[in-house]
Amino acid sequence: MLEDSYGNKISTNSADAIASYNQGVHQFLGAEPNVEASFKAAISADPKFTLAHVGLAREMQLRGRSGGVKQSLNKAFETSKNLSAREQSHLSVSSLLLRGKSAEARAAVYEHVKEWPRDVLIAQMCTSVFGLIGFSGLPGREAEQLSFMTNLTPNYGDDWWCKAQLAFAQLEVGQLDEAGINIEEALLSNPNSAHSKHIRAHLYYENLQDEDGLSYLQRHWENYDPSGALYNHISWHVGLWSLETGNLEQMWNVLDKHISPDNSQGPPLNVLTDTAALLFRAELAGVEVTPERWRGLSAYAMTKFANPGLGFADFHAAITHARAGNIEALENIIANAKGPVSDLTKKVARAYLYMQGANWLSASELFTSVVREHARFGGSNAQRDLLDFSLAACLIHQGRTREAKTILAITRPRALQKDIISGLH
C-alpha cells in the first residue's frame, strides 16, 4: 500500500495519483496556488481515489463554491468501498465539516487525531483562527487552540506546517518569543507557505513592528499569486499597515485592486471581513470613506451572507450595513443571529446601530459587555482590534478619553503608541 507524504497509507495503486495528492495537500496547507489543479490531477490518475475527492471538496468549501463541495463529496462517497479504517474516518469527519456540522466535526477531529495524529488534513481542521476551534464560540478557545497544537506537536517532528500553526496559537496568547522561534523554523524548512508568512506578519504586528512588518510582507505579497487562498487577507495586512504608517494612497490602491469584491478572487469570508475591517479602521483613524463604498459592500454581504450564522462574518456585515444605511439588513442580524456566538453578535450589531445614530453611551455599554469575551468570535487579535477600537471611539465621543486609554492599556496597548484612533491623543 502506498503512503502519503505524512506516512498515512492510501488505497490507490497509482504513484502519479499519490504524487499529485501530496502536492495538493502541500499547497492547501501553505495556501499556495493550484490546489484545485493538483487534486484534479490526482483524481484523473485514479478516479476512485476517495481522499483526493475529499481534498477537492475542502478547497471548494474554502472558496465558497457549494455546488463543487456537494459534487466532490458525492464522488468521495461513491468511491468509498474498500477504504481502510483511517480513510473511512477521514471521509466521515470531512463530511461533517463539509456539511456545516461544526460542533460534531470538532468532536470527531479530536477522536480521529488520537489514533491518526499525522492525518494532516483532519488535524488542520482544528487549527488557525478560522478553524473549528477558532469558530467554536467557546470561552477559552485560544487556550484550547494552544493545547490542541501542543498535543499534536510530538507527532510532527520538524514539520513546517505544525511549527507554523503552533506559532500562531502561541502568539495569539502572547507567547511571542516561543512563536518567533517556531515560525522562523517553519519558514526555514518551507519558505513558500503563505500561511507561514502570514503568521510571521502577525508576530510583527503583535510586536508593534509596523514598518518592518510592512516591508517584510510587501516583499512576499508582490510575489504571491492572486489566486492563492490567502492573497486577499495578506493584502489586508498590507493595506492595514499602509493605513497605520500613513500611506493612504497605497491603502486605497491595495483595497480597490486586491481586497474589495470588485477585483478579489479570495474566499467570500475574507473579501467581506477584510474590506469591512479596513474601511472601518480607516474611519476610526479619521479617514473619510464614501457612502458608495459601504453601499457596494453591503450589497455584497447580502448576496454572500444573507442568513446570519457565522458570527465573525455577521459582525463585519453589521458594521457594513450600519455604515451603508441598510438598517433593514442590520435589524435582520440583530433579530436572527444564530450559532454559538449569537448572543455576542446581537449585542455588537446593535452597538453599531447605536453608533450610526450617534448614541455613543448605549453603544459603549454594549461594547463594554462584549470586549472581554470577544475572542469567542474567532479571528485573530489583529482582526478583533476593530471591536476594542470601536469601544474606544464611542468613549472618546463622550469625552471619556482617559477611560478609553485605560481600557486600551489593558486590552491593546499598541493602540496607545500609534495614531490610529482619531481623538485618542
Residues that bind Fe ion (CB under 5 A): 380
What burial class does residue 421 get, using C-beta atoms within 10 Å of its C-beta: 0-12 exposed, 13-18 middle, 19+ buried?
Answer: buried
Q: How far apart are CB 234 and Fe ion at their closest, in Å?
A: 8
Q: How far apart are CB 278 and Fe ion at their closest, in Å?
A: 12
Select from 372, 332, 370, 326 the least CA-distant residue to 351.
370
Q: Which is nearer to Fe ion, 38 or 235 (CB)?
A: 235
- Count CB-CB contacts under 10 A for residue 222: 8
Q: Which is nearer to Fe ion, 232 or 326 (CB)?
A: 232
Q: Which is nearer to Fe ion, 239 or 308 (CB)?
A: 239
Helix H or strand E encompassing 314: helix 311-324
Q: How far apart are CB 272 and Fe ion at their closest, in Å?
A: 15
Contact 304, 268 (CB under 8 A): yes
Q: Which long-range contacts (CB under 8 A, 24 or more apart) does 189-192 make?
A: 189/158, 189/159, 189/160, 189/163, 190/30, 190/160, 190/161, 192/30, 192/32
- Count CB-CB contacts under 10 A for residue 409: 11
DSSP 195-218: HHHHHHHHHHHHTT-HHHHHHHHH
Q: State how far the Cα of 25 lies from the Cα of 159, in Å rounded to an integer.
A: 14
- Count CB-CB contacts under 10 A for residue 246: 10
For residue 328 the three cell numbers come to 433593514
Q: Which is nearer to Fe ion, 63 or 202 (CB)?
A: 202
Q: How far apart are CB 376 and Fe ion at their closest, in Å?
A: 18
Q: Which is nearer to Fe ion, 315 or 354 (CB)?
A: 315
Contact 322, 355 (CB under 8 A): yes
Q: How far apart are CB 382 and Fe ion at their closest, in Å?
A: 6
Q: How far apart are CB 184 and Fe ion at their closest, in Å?
A: 18
Q: How far apart are CB 237 and Fe ion at their closest, in Å?
A: 6
